Structure 1
Amino acid sequence: MCSDINISVIEKIPYIDRIINCRVYDFLKNPLNFYRFVRELRKVKYEVVIDAGQWERINSLITIFTKRDYSIGFRTKGQWKHVVNDAVIAHSRTKHEVENFMDLLIPLGIVPVSGEYDYDELQLEFFLKQEHRQFRDKFWSEHSLENKTVICFHPGCGENGKPREWALENYIQVGKQLFKADKNIVVLITGTDFERYLCDPLYEALKGFAINTAGKFTLEQTAALVEKARLMLCSNTGILHVSTCVGTKTIGLHGPTNPVKWGAYNKRAVMIQSSKYCSPCLYLGHDYGCNLPTCMKEITPDEVYMAIRKELNPELFLKILQVQEN
């Protein structure tokens, strides 16, 4: 079961036999829609129901009405949604959300082979088809990118992620600094159609060495492009995790979000955290500590530029360290 928010990703997972799209807003518009939804749901009896929602109480209500033998869910402080479940897992503030989700399988006897979660053991996947990679290769050829150093910039964070966005002028400054240092660099701008208000002016500012793909391609096509890039620069948003799934190096910018909990789940990922005293503040994803977060402003373009240079040219920094040691 999923919602309109994540169904586009869920549909791409080959291991799933059936998808039920739960349109909560339809229930609010007409309560009879919830009755029809439950009636359809109860046509099947499930051996196990796993509620992976951290705070959504509607999940608990659906669990109550579902025909089931056994149910598992989180106990999240202050939410009280766990009381309907047979097995309860404490939702942790201090571990990555991937590992929280994996904990839901413990009552079924599914535990890490080594006793502890491992990045390699829990490698995230994004399922690309041959047609997507063929599209990517054609795109690379048409734009003469084969011998270029392609870096992705994704400045947006969706319709509800404004407090997590890094300022547009910062992306522009970093892009210009990178191209000044290396004329072989091409900035590939990614984003949804909604995020074009950021991506279009970013392209105009970097026009001589940038390509704007915002709103032009499907998620799979964008993921295929990102797969071939050297690295992805973005805030904590969906593309950060898609990039991790396809194996591309990520530099994630975190203000309200805690990279330990919400960052890219990869030991090679670079995480840059705001230095503001109250950062991070988010726990469940919507509980911002203030109305107008300013923590992203504390991350400087120079800090990000140096992080990218270290990833692109680590040998330069090793030489500097060797000189200093001698």
Structure 2
Amino acid sequence: MDKYIGIPLIFMLGLFRKKKKELQRNPQNIVIVMIAAIGDTILLSAIIKELKLLFPNVAITLVCSKGNIQAAKNLPQVDHMIKFDMANVLGSFFLLRKLPEYDLLFDFGTWAKFNAFISFVIKANFKVGFKRKSMYRHYIYDCITEHIDELHEIENYRNLVRALGHRLLSLDPEFKVSSENSQWLNPKRKYVVFHMFASGSHKMKKEWPKKLWFELAQRLMEEGYTIILTGGKEDKEQAEAFVQLIGGFQCFSLAGKVSLEETAAVIKEVGAIITVNTGVMHLAAVMDAYIVALHGPTSPERWGPVTKKSVILTPNIKCDQLLSLGFEKHQCVLEDGCISTIQVDDVFEAMKKVEIGEHFVKTSSIL
């Protein structure tokens, strides 16, 4: 539907919209369209910080969705937030159309024509968005920039602002955690967070096999670690089953039991996490935790954590079909995916670096 209806629709809407050539010097209100997932929203926080520095008096409105509202509401630089309800699309479009005109709109959607249609409905004096090869979604914007697979996503986001001629400071992402969400843990014990669950298309190929998590857990518990599992409501059943498999008191699950902000507070307090490539990995980076990031069919250069405190482990075989947007066709010769070739020994040794206080250096196997 996005392809066969979205392309001609956005093209026609672009014909009817008169393009603006100039943006007013000091916009007073900016609206940002970001209805994607948690990780994308956390990366976006760095761009919002840049906009606040460029335009100190600007009010920023964020249009989000059910999928990222938990992250959006913890972005400290956002002044107003509007939830686009996918269960009531017409009502949401009507709400957006009734909003007063904004000086500037940024659409950080990278491929979906639906984002472009939202951007068309919102009244704004000047609109900025991405152009991607074969996506045909850029016709309604006044200013476009190429979305590039070889760049980390945060650099693509920065380029959308640079397209207006602004120099940026390359600030880091940010996520606000209340002081009330602290001191979860027993200070006499040592902990590590396991985030075993991916999301989106090809999630199974981005998840390290459970048998390898089990072996790693056994070895870390022998070293005196208590393991905390994190995840969403959809992961709760699997997480509880893993805890039952492990047995004992050295492993427990918070998956589906706490909010995203509470998850962030736990990660911050623990200070160390082993995670697959997903939104919680980016959350851990802004919490300044040590990260052991397990990448499968995704490039760390494209989607790695934005931090210097990480070890990045990639498959021991070359993957010829790395995912860039996440939904592309992907087939792997291995039943458990190329991520299954990451060895338990390598992950264990990465965790030992945390224990002895070594500085992390980004490393990888074969990309």
TM range, smaller chain: 0.7 to 0.9
Contact 2:271 2:288 survives alignment (8 Å): no
Which one scores higher on RCO, CA 8 angstroms, separation ≥ 6?
Answer: 2
1:247 aligned partner: 288
Which has the larger helix fraction? 1
The alpha carbon displacement at 1:86 in A equals: 1.2
Contact 1:158 1:194 survives alignment (8 Å): no
In 2, the alpha carbon distance for the partners of 1:224 and 1:272 equals 25
Aligned residue runs from structure 1 range 264-283, under 5 A: 264-278=305-319, 281-283=322-324
2:149 aligned partner: 93
Q: In the alignment, does 2:115 pair up with 1:53? A: no
In 1, the alpha carbon distance for the partners of 2:122 and 2:168 equals 29
The alpha carbon displacement at 1:221 in A equals: 1.4
Contact 1:159 1:194 survives alignment (8 Å): no
266, 272, 289: which one aligns with 1:231:
272
Q: In the alignment, does 2:313 pair up with 1:308? A: no
Contact 2:233 2:255 survives alignment (8 Å): yes
Aligned residue runs from structure 1 range 9-88, under 5 A: 9-27=71-89, 33=90, 36-43=91-98, 44-88=100-144
Q: Deviation per CA, 1:54-96, whole angstroms, max 9, x where unpaired?
A: 0010122222333221111111121111122111111111221
2:232 aligned partner: 192
| Number of matched pairs | 291
1:322 aligned partner: none
Amino acid at match of 1:204: Q
Contact 2:200 2:326 survives alignment (8 Å): no
Seen in structure 2, the aligned counterparts of structure 1 residues 68 and 159 have a Cα distance that, compared at 3 Å, is closer
1:123 aligned partner: 172
Could you tell me the percent identity over the aligned residues? 26
In 1, the alpha carbon distance for the partners of 2:92 and 2:232 equals 30
Contact 1:244 1:266 survives alignment (8 Å): yes
Q: Deviation per CA, 1:203-260, whole angstroms, max 9, x where unpaired?
A: 1233332222222212211211110113101101111111111111111111111111
1:221 aligned partner: 262
2:5 aligned partner: none
Amino acid at match of 1:13: L
2:160 aligned partner: 104
Task: Judge which range, 165-174 or 203-212, deviates more.
Answer: 203-212
Q: Deviation per CA, 1:107-151, whole angstroms, max 9, x where unpaired?
A: 3443234xxx4xxxx222111112112xxx1x32xxxx2132211
Contact 2:85 2:92 survives alignment (8 Å): no
RMSD of aligned C-alpha atoms?
2.1
Task: Judge which range, 257-266 or 9-18, deviates more.
Answer: 9-18
SS in 1 for 2:213: helix
SS in 2 for 1:88: strand
The unaligned stretches of length 5 or more in structure 1 are 28-32, 316-326
1:297 aligned partner: 340
Seen in structure 2, the aligned counterparts of structure 1 residues 279 and 177 have a Cα distance that, compared at 3 Å, is farther
Runs (4 or more) in structure 1 with deviation over 6 Å come to none
In 2, the alpha carbon distance for the partners of 1:204 and 1:4 equals 31
The alpha carbon displacement at 1:52 in A equals: 0.3
Seen in structure 2, the aligned counterparts of structure 1 residues 236 and 211 have a Cα distance that, compared at 3 Å, is same
- Normalized against structure 1, the TM-score is what? 0.83
2:41 aligned partner: none
Q: In the alignment, does 2:215 pair up with 1:173? A: yes
- Normalized against structure 2, the TM-score is what? 0.74
The alpha carbon displacement at 1:277 in A equals: 2.1
